Structure 1
Amino acid sequence: MKIKIHVLDKEIAKQGYACVNASYNIEETERNSFIEKLKKENPSKIIFEGDIPNFLTYDENSNMIREATEEEKLKRGDRELATNEILIEGKIVSYDIYSQKIENEKIVNKTRQDFINEKSITIESEIEKSRNDRKIIFNAMDKYDKSVLRGDVAEKEKEKIERDDFRKKWLDIPEIYKTLDISIENLYPNIPEKIRYFIN
């Protein structure tokens, strides 16, 4: 099996670049003796085996090159962080900028207050959310009413009053929701069990 051996300029490698003075494809059985020969002939060079990294770092201790870390790439300008990336303990980590934030160099979920501060949650958006939820509830109520008219479901007078009150409370929500101190879901009335049955 053939292996690749490269002779690199050390001073240029220290700058993070590869300047290849020579490259060889040799038999694996010749590896050790060939590398020793190259080291003697090129004492001020780096003898490197394998594929040269696209982004490299010179290691003074081993007199060798290696793949640059993400942190090294950032420092040298070889890499830039995207808007949804952060460097944590030497690693680039992605996060959801819409639902998460950086706090004390950690990724955490945004709170309701964060969304309010960003204007992602407003009185208007909360009311719109309640109207969308109301459509689901009223669709179930429509199915319930039709079942009552067909005689499939028996409805007592008390249950009819409860149903009408339930409907009115839903209709009143947009009028009574005036502050973001609470989530609009807190104003949702309890669903009567007979109506709950018809929610898909």
Structure 2
Amino acid sequence: MHDLVAITALGGTTPRVDTVAGVTCTENPGVALASVAARLGQEAKAQKALAKLIDASAPDVGQHDGGTIAAFWSGPDQWMIEAPFDSHEDLADQVTSAMGDSASVTEQTDAWTRFDLTGDPLASVLELLCMLDLRKISAGSVARCSIHHVGCFVLCRSPEEFSIYGPRSSAGSLHHAIVTAMRSAL
């Protein structure tokens, strides 16, 4: 019999936490993810089902919203759904049931890694990481950008809290870029 041990995207048994001058980067493996793409001709029905699922309006371009189950815009009539893994390990199945035949749903949990950045001043760190116009970013905003040649989503949860989603296969490179920017900026 095998004794399997779950590991984070960075290869640890516990999430990696790095702090530099008041800014903290925390690896967050406790998130379940699923992608949703509205089917042709079912866009309005999909938006309505998504709004009911997240108990908020379906996020528009460059936005995220929701409660325990939240969504962020990832493309035209496409969203990424996030929820706590401990209570939503079967998120893709839950989303599939909620969306019915209005959308296609794909499990994404193990495809992405999330790093949470908290503290102040995050703007100086983010300016080194990506080409986002931080004057236009506010709580509830999301942007797709490149960080260290890796396609990522950057969510602004508040001026002192951002989440960065990147491909799990690039977790080490992404983490290195974030920590290097923290050390350079702070």
Q: Same fold (TM over 0.5)?
A: no
Higher helix share: 1
Question: TM-score, normalised to structure 1's length?
Answer: 0.22
Higher relative contact order (CA 8 A, sep 6+): 2
Greater Cα radius of gyration, structure 1 or 2: 1
